[in-house]
Structure 1
Amino acid sequence: MKIHIERGATYRVQAYDALSVAVARGEAVQTLTAPALLQPDVAPAEWAIAQATAQAPPPLAAFEALLEHAPELVLYGSGARLRFPGAQVMHLFHARGIGFETMDTFAACRTYNVLSMEGRRVLAALLIGPAVGG
């Protein structure tokens, strides 16, 4: 007899390190080694941001593309260090009533798990990999 309610994320961050993020769906695990987008009920996808490096955030157009996912909240994981993307990016989301938070990728992974388990429409845009790690 089932006595608990299952809700929230289908895709969860299982583990992370400086070069990768492991995302689990049931028993299946996918290891991400490049910038990626995570959503609770959608398979992880590549975040096409060729210009992002450890020194420079992705361009505004990369953040504008996130709007098509209709998130309630965007978590921007800026790599191993906290790096804010700039006022234009924050305004892009706030003007549309979409929450936007910047944190290092490790904190974004942890926060994504909590919010997605609450059933929130969270989108994690994560910088992952050697080019953006340091």
Structure 2
Amino acid sequence: MDNKNRIKVSFFMIFIIAVAVFISSNRFEEETMVCGTPDFISICGNTLDENQKEGRKLFKILCASCHKLDKKLIGPALGGIKRDSISFFNYIVIKDTITNNYHKPNFKQLSIQNTNEILLYLNN
């Protein structure tokens, strides 16, 4: 086999391996999507309303780097947390006067509507 054919075969094998990796990674993502994961909305039969969709966006932007819904990451799992919207707002944005706790970092840019949307998404 001459060098041109070896190069062609090498590129072909690399292409086949890349396609196989891509296909297997997509299958893995589909298998691991379960109820409550932030990226899969309707596997449990739940559909999100507009407020929950906005909450999902905010969660992905602000919260997902430290929190997951179903397991501890840097912070605790947040799926199905039991808080009313006012105490959740106080905890996320300002010092909570009831528990005397607050989230670090504070997200002062969030309105009470924003935190309510996140809470609605978390409790979906």
* TM-score with structure 2 setting the length: 0.25
Higher strand share: 1
Structure showing greater radius of gyration is 2
Ranked by relative contact order (alpha carbons within 8 Å, sequence separation 6 or more), the top structure is 1
* TM-score with structure 1 setting the length: 0.24
Higher helix share: 2
